[in-house]
Amino acid sequence: MIRREFFIDYSRCIGCRACVQACAECDTHRGNSMIHLETIERRDTLQTAPQICMHCDDPVCARVCPADAIKKTPDGVVQSSLKPRCIACSNCVVSCPFGVPKYMAEFEQMMKCDMCYDRSSIGKKPMCATVCPSGALTYTTMEEVQRTRPGIPVNSWKFGGEEVTTKVHVMVPRETTRVEIDLIQIQPTPQALPADPYDVALMLEMAQ
Amino acid sequence: MTPARNSLRQPRLSDATHAMFWGLATASLLILGILTGSRGLRDFDPALVSYAGAAVLSGFGIGYRYAMWLRRPPTRLYWYRGWQIFLAPQKLLSNLAHLARIAWNTIVLQRFIERRSHLRWTAHWFLAWGCILAAAVTFPLSFGWIRFETARTNQEIYRAFMFGIPLGSFHLGTPFAEMTFDILDIAAVMVLIGVFFALWRRGHDHGAWSVQQFSDDMLPLILLFAISTTGLFLTVSTHLMQGIYYGFLSQLHAVTVIFTLLYLPFGKFFHIFQRPAQIGVNFYKQAGASGPQARCHRCGQEFASRMHIDDLKSVQAALGIRYQLSNGLHYQDICAACRRKNLALTQDGLWKSYDNRLRGN
Ligand code: HEM
Ligand code: SF4
Ligand code: SF4
């Protein structure tokens, strides 16, 4: 089996929502889409960005889980919560550094992206990467990405003092070795701006 | 509300020693229960000693595993907080009423599983209630807590005792007597219905195929199937085949039950003991919702209860997760949606500064 990896490039996302739809067709969570599609700075741009589970090497979600309900397979895929165990406490939902797990109130269970394990475990592409037209979500070989993209893939992160390495890579400019999430972007956004009837991004957000 | 931090302090004993203590305590309590409940073994049926022995061993394993589980910082926190909230004196009455309501919905009816799918619910409800029904009869029997004997004056009259106290007598052949003797058969049929639906689902659900494992997912169903069928064979042998092969069948049945009892603490069945935590979490969330809320530092929206965020910070500290940011903020004060947006913005920022560097400014 050719060894393929997952690569995210937020900046390529065109907000078409194909991944959101396709995700719900995955057999391990059929009917429920696990992908997050964010509108970024609604007032200024139409920019959107997808977020899938990054499949951390030492997942924070599993460490804070009181029920020991989150398990990693030997091939490094962090699975959705084990159904008999998860007690729907949302520790993982609010702790994951990437904001990935979803609390499903009606099932009293957390569900998350499992890289379409029914597909990726037998060498097929995850649903989202199959349909993404822009290459924001790509499932391919490391060589292919290095050959064709201007940036380089990185899988090392820092959230304050917490170092995280992930199975999934993000595309960043050359010379970057680690993505540091500290104070740069975390500034309070002005809230309660007056409603703008032509705010397309808001409409998109409302449609979710 | 007092901080739950104390409950997260470094344990003095090693985890295994501590868990060993609770395992032994559970097993001792069971032995004590058997000794007193059977009036110093006077009511104990020696034929069932292997069942009672396996139950005691299983008690050790369950106590051990439960104590180990409570050593996890997040589990400890919910354990202490759950009891603290539940036992708050001024709320105890309304909490008891709330407990009855959620226990009815989540444990008796298991509504939340029904919302996952009807097939899952049918399988699970029959599995769980078949097993609970069977356990409610067989444990007291094998511990010598209940006992039946024929009346000295009339072979047709059965008398039942609990802890040596006469519960009453009934005539063989009455519907009540039939029900009592058939209760294990009814339980076995319920379990078989559950096993059938569970296997059916596992056979048809493509998603389940990719994640299920033999020891975790199939073995429990196989064990329940084996217990139920060998149990039913005993009835068939007694009533329809003049007791043919009874000795062999009863040993086979005992082997399946004992193996399952010993497996209880390890595999999927442990959720039977873990699951009440769902009720604790329910109380925790209710208490959180009625208290102050945490607002995201970035968007200003409420995203969790203040209590939850504060508790999580102490759990994270106990786990060595360091989310403090260099400007004095804490990453735990950022909501999940802002974390996601922030990732894309950070990538943007990296490209902008890269481009600026290339342009030499
Ligand atoms: C003696 C009692 C019980 C037995 C024998 C039992 C057995 C099982 C088994 C065998 C499964 C796996 C089903 C499969 O293979 O698909 C399962 C799943 C599960 N059990 Fe239990 N169980 C019991 C009690 C409970 C209780 C009291 C609860 C709490 C309400 C519970 C909650 C669950 C949940 C949430 C699942 C996952 C269901 C799903 O979504 O597929 N169980 N149980
Ligand atoms: S990205 Fe979040 S949900 Fe995925 S493995 Fe890491 S901590 Fe868990
Ligand atoms: S919501 Fe479920 S999976 Fe997530 S931390 Fe709580 S128990 Fe674990």
| A173 closest CB neighbour out of B106, B343, B354 | B354
CATH number 3.30.70.20 is the correct assignment for the domain at A54-112? yes
Average of per-residue pLDDT values in chain A: 90
| Confidence (pLDDT) at B2 | 44
Cα B287 to ligand 3 centre (Å): 18
- Show me where the domains of chain B are located: 4-281, 294-360
Is the predicted pLDDT of residue A73 greater than 50, yes or no?
A: yes
The Cα-based distances of A97 to A51, A180, A201, B18, B77 in angstroms read: 12, 12, 25, 33, 21
Which residue from B207, B319, B346 is facing A27, i.e. has the nearest CB? B207
Is ipTM over 0.90? yes
What residue's CA is closest to ligand 2, atom 4? A53
Distance of CA A87 from the midpoint of ligand 3 (Å) = 6
Per residue in A149-204, pLDDT tens?
Answer: 999 999 999 999 999 999 999 999 998 999 998 755 666 665 545 566 666 666 66
By residue count, chain A amounts to: 208
Residues 32-91 (A) with a CB less than 8 A from some CB of B: 36, 38, 40-41, 47, 49, 51, 60, 63-68, 79, 83-85, 87-91
DSSP three-state, residue A46: coil
Q: Residue B12's pLDDT is what?
A: 61
B44-98 per-position pLDDT tens digit: 999 999 999 999 999 999 999 999 999 999 999 999 999 999 999 999 999 999 9
Q: Would you tell me which residues 87-146 of chain A have a C-beta closer than 8 angstroms to some C-beta of chain B? A: 87-91, 93-100, 106-109, 114, 117-118, 121-122
Of ligand 3's listed atoms, the one at least distance from the Cα of A88 is: 1
Q: Which residue has the CA at smallest separation from atom 18 of ligand 1?
A: A84
Give A114 Cα–ligand 2 centroid separation in angstroms: 10
- Comparing CB atoms, the residue among A38, A68, A151 nearest residue B344 is A38
Q: Give pLDDT, residue B244.
A: 79
| pLDDT tens digits, one per residue of B6-51 | 445 555 678 999 999 999 999 999 999 999 999 999 999 999 999 9
Task: Please answer whether residues B274 and B67 qualify as being in contact, where contact means their C-beta atoms are separated by less than 8 angstroms.
Answer: no
Q: Which of the residues in chain B have pLDDT under 50?
A: 1-7
Cβ distance B298 to A182 less than 8 Å, yes or no, reads: no
Ligand nearest to the CA of A91: 3
pLDDT at B295: 96
User: Which B positions 226-285 lie with beta carbon below 8 A of chain A?
Assistant: 268, 271, 274-275, 277-278, 281, 284-285
pLDDT attached to residue B145: 96
Q: What is the pLDDT of residue B148?
A: 85
How many degrees, rounded to 5, is the angle at CA B278 between CA B276 and CA B283? 105
What single string gives the DSSP state of each residue in B84-149?
HHHT-GGGHHHHHHHHHHHIIIIIIS-HHHHHH-HHHHHHHHHHHHHHHHHHHHHHHHHTTSEEEE
Q: What integer pLDDT is reported at residue A187 of this predicted model?
A: 62
SS3 at position A47: coil
Does A144 have pLDDT greater than 60? Answer: yes
